[in-house]
A and B are shown apart, each in its own frame.
Chain A
């Protein structure tokens, strides 16, 4: 996966846009509620499940976003399955 921190856009390695991350609430991951999935948490503001991209494949994330385009994701700039890019035309 690739992530552009200038635009908060998450891409597959092939350059397909997965999502532009966009949350005005500056949420703290550690304060989100638990879910049945240890790699997801619950946002009490939007009542959305937030999926940790560190533990998902690109294909899984594409499927999540296809099923629910408003699904929320979490990206940690330090996570191993991510490289950063400064291009949006990957």
Chain B
């Protein structure tokens, strides 16, 4: 999902995320304290798909909704319903770039979460990843201010 500065409802200080050695070290040299974390994909973040192929042209159609995928006789299902983790990150670690003057208890906006949280659930079993969130700096770590207990099936915007 695309995020940008305007995706920050309370106009909090923005915490950026670096996802490569080069970008982490560049930030460190610029005065940030990289808070390094392992990228650990959650098994709960799942999307599903199946693939149909046109027997004549070879073209494929990818379907993600059980209600879709009603093709004609010239189509054949070549991959049945399967689940996958729908994100790719460049390295298995990343770092939040903590400003040197951050205060304990300061609320911030994390624009690119490293941790996996379920942001939205769908009744067909798919769970979607939360991208951005508020957090509080406790002096050593960012405490992410989000509860997965709320069923977010409704999207407004």
Contacts and interface: CB of A to CB of B under 8 A. Distances in A.
Partners in one complex: yes
Contacts of A24: 6-9, 132
Given A86-B64, A86-B86, A5 B126 contact: yes
Interface string A47-90: 00010000000000000000000001111111000011111000
Interface stretch (B18-26, B75-83, B136-144, B148-156): B148-156
Interface in B69-121: 86, 120-121
B2 interface: yes
A48 to B, nearest CB: 10
A77 B47 contact: no
B122 A84 contact: yes
Given A25-B9, A83-B65, 14 more contacts: A3-B155, A5-B122, A6-B1, A6-B128, A7-B2, A24-B6, A24-B8, A24-B9, A74-B155, A75-B154, A77-B153, A84-B64, A84-B65, A84-B124
Contacts of B7: 22, 24
A21 B65 contact: no
Interface of B: 1-2, 6-9, 47, 49, 62, 64-65, 67-68, 86, 120-124, 126, 128, 132, 152-157
Interface in A3-25: 3, 5-8, 19-25
A89 B41 CA distance: 26
Contacts of A73: 156-157
